Amino acid sequence: MGHPTGQSRGWFGRVNDKQVYAHTSFCLSSILNPGEPPLDKGIIPWLGHVFEFRRDTLKFLNRMKQKHGDVFTVQLGGFYITFLQDPFSCGTFVKEKQEKLSRNKFSHQLMKQAFGYEDIKSDPEIHLMAHTRHLMGDGLVLMTQAMMSNLQNLMLHNTGSAANQSTWKEDGLFMYSCKILFRAGYLSVFGNVPPESEGNEEKAKEKDRTESDTLFYEFRKYDQLFPDLFYGVLSPKKKKEAQRLLTFFWDALAIHKVRNKDNISRWVWDIQQAKAEDGMEESMISRYMFVLLFTTQLNTGPASFWLLLFLMKHPEAMAAVKGEPDVLDSAVEETLRLTMAPIITRSVLQDMTLKMADSREYFIRKGDRMAVFPYSAVHIDPEIHPDPHSFKYDRFLNPDGSKKTDFYKGGKKVKHYTMPWGIGVSMCPGRFFATNELKQFVFLMLAYFECELKNPDEKIPEIDVRRWGLGSMQPDRDIQFQYRLRY
């Protein structure tokens, strides 16, 4: 894990010696600056609570909340992180200026550590323009259309025909959903093999299928390493494997290859173009292509699995979705409430005062970090979402069928009643496209196939607790299903 002279890696980052010294000296004498949140350093010097935190983040944060209340600072791998777990005050993240609470400093460190990518100064502006134009504006329609045609190519290939329609195919639902979503998403963002290069369109489609298949399996390997990589605790052997995979993706997504594709999304095109104009080397732009692949694919596959599984396990929800497409939006939101668990983190760049919704104020030190874990702060709070562990497909619908946005705690309205996409400046710009992807996938599954669980009585798998804080949760095992063409 490193040592107190500043070599920690991963999410816990690189420790600032002065900060450790300052906090250590205060805490040895048990004195905090006036107005600071309760500080819990754990019993292991410098590492603090890191092992308990990694073992089960949700359990650990719940324990801390019970002990200290909804604002507390914990020591994790040399860093002091203040968790803000009051549902009414999460908006502080939205309101605080970037000069005080910065997303960029933290994300630059992570990009370098996990993806071998080093940013240049003008990046945020470039990204924001490309996101707004192509993931939210007119470009969203084009990307959604591309997704539809790629999903059709992948889902209908090799599924038989009317002549042998009674043949069931079996697969693990998690692997099937992740594989389809990954491959279709990758092709929609990075483009298709041009028919000219293969001789005809059929051959080009075939190549899209085989290439995206290879990429998917390598991506799964990287994804498996990601929790330990993110938290900076990979063993040397696994580090080597992570490096091999990065090199594989940098080559597969090399910018000269991406530029030769057909239908490359304007989003990727504009970003790589702007980086080139800014003077970034081609090899570094290729590395960024993997950052984009990872960002776009990390959550979508697992989310599509949970959505389809919840629908299959809840016949009333399945019937409602088939009868009234608007219900699907609520079912998607409910799925994300139950299975999306990112930790939203900011670096504290200046000493600051955290102002809570109920007028409490806390002094927060420069050099520390602040974080919100919406899953426990909001998503599964039984006052905000009664019976919080149950899937209720219509939880986000009013009786008249409109979108429900009124949720309360203690009689007071909760503005941020779910946060699967994060909040504030770093809120996921791909949320509209991602929602479309999930809805398209479910729509096509239900339109093309009869599908059922092999064992309808099998319980919904447990969540794999190693992934708390990283985004979409994954199941601790797969669940078998079968499907066959309807016509």
Binding site feature residues: 299, 369, 428
CB of 109 to ligand HEM, least distance (A): 13
Stretch that binds ligand HEM, among 282-290, 376-384, 429-437, 452-460 (CB under 6 A): 429-437
CB of 143 to ligand HEM, least distance (A): 7
Q: Smaller CB distance to ligand HEM: residue 36 or 89? A: 89
User: By C-alpha distance, which of 186, 244, 234 is closest to 437?
Assistant: 186
From the list 110, 151, 428, 444, which residue makes contact with ligand HEM (rule: CB under 6 A)?
428
User: By C-alpha distance, which of 125, 116, 99, 114 is closest to 346?
Assistant: 99
Using rule CB under 6 A, residue 420 touches ligand HEM: yes
From the list 39, 81, 280, 434, which residue makes contact with ligand HEM (rule: CB under 6 A)?
434
CB of 320 to ligand HEM, least distance (A): 21
From the list 10, 342, 374, 475, which residue makes contact with ligand HEM (rule: CB under 6 A)?
342
Site map (CB under 6 A) of ligand HEM, residues 441-480, x = contact: ------------------------------xx--------
Site for ligand HEM in 80-109 (CB under 6 A): 107
From the list 155, 307, 338, 340, which residue makes contact with ligand HEM (rule: CB under 6 A)?
340
Using rule CB under 6 A, residue 299 touches ligand HEM: yes
From the list 421, 449, 481, 483, which residue makes contact with ligand HEM (rule: CB under 6 A)?
421
Amino acid at 450: E
Q: Hey, what are 159's tokens?
A: 């599924």
Q: Smaller CB distance to ligand HEM: residue 36 or 212? A: 212
Looking at the DSSP bridge assignments, the partners of residue 344 are 372
CB of 118 to ligand HEM, least distance (A): 16
Burial of 141 (0-12, 13-18, 19+ CB in 10 A): exposed
Site map (CB under 6 A) of ligand HEM, residues 245-264, x = contact: --------------------
Site for ligand HEM in 120-149 (CB under 6 A): 135
Using rule CB under 6 A, residue 422 touches ligand HEM: yes
To 5 degrees, how large is the angle CA 354–CA 355–CA 360? Answer: 110
CB of 121 to ligand HEM, least distance (A): 15
From the list 92, 263, 286, 296, which residue makes contact with ligand HEM (rule: CB under 6 A)?
296
Using rule CB under 6 A, residue 430 touches ligand HEM: yes
CB of 342 to ligand HEM, least distance (A): 4
Q: Report the residue count for the chain.
A: 487
Q: Smaller CB distance to ligand HEM: residue 74 or 135? A: 135
Q: Smaller CB distance to ligand HEM: residue 129 or 319? A: 129
- Residue list, annotated binding site for substrate: 299, 369
CB of 285 to ligand HEM, least distance (A): 15
What does the H/E/C string look like for the chain?
Answer: CCCCCCCCCHHHCCCCHHHHHHHHHHHHCCCCCCCCCCEECCCECCCECHHHHHHCHHHHHHHHHHHHCCEEEEEECCEEEEEECCCCCCCHHHHCCCCCEECHHHHHHHHHHHHCCCCCCCHHHHHHHHHHHHHHCCHHHHHHHHHHHHHHHHHHCCCCCHHHCCCCEEEEHHHHHHHHHHHHHHHHHHCECCHHHHCCHHHHHHHHHHHHHHHHHHHHHHHHHHHHHHCCCCCHHHHHHHHHHHHHHHHHCCHHHHCCCECCCHHHHHHHHHHHHCCCCHHHHHHHHHHHHHHHHCCHHHHHHHHHHHHHHCHHHHHHHHHCCCHHHHHHHHHHHHHEEECEEEEECCCEEEECCCCCEEEECCCCEEEECHHHHHHCCCCCCCCCCCCCCCCCECCCCCECCCCEECCEECCCCCCCCCCHHHCCCCHHHHHHHHHHHHHHHHHHEEEEECCCCCCCCCECHHHCEEEECCECCCCEEEEEECC
Stretch that binds ligand HEM, among 173-181, 277-285, 421-429, 459-467 (CB under 6 A): 421-429
| Separation between Cα atoms, residue 481 and residue 226, nearest integer Å | 27
User: Site for ligand HEM (CB under 6 A): how many residues?
Assistant: 21
Using rule CB under 6 A, residue 300 touches ligand HEM: yes
Q: Smaller CB distance to ligand HEM: residue 117 or 421? A: 421
Tokens 């999306």 correspond to 340
Site map (CB under 6 A) of ligand HEM, residues 343-362, x = contact: -x------------------
Site map (CB under 6 A) of ligand HEM, residues 389-408, x = contact: --------------------
- Residue list, annotated binding site for heme: 428
- Residues forming contacts to ligand HEM in the complex (CB under 6 A) are 107, 135, 295-296, 299-300, 303, 340, 342, 344, 420-422, 426, 428-430, 433-434, 471-472
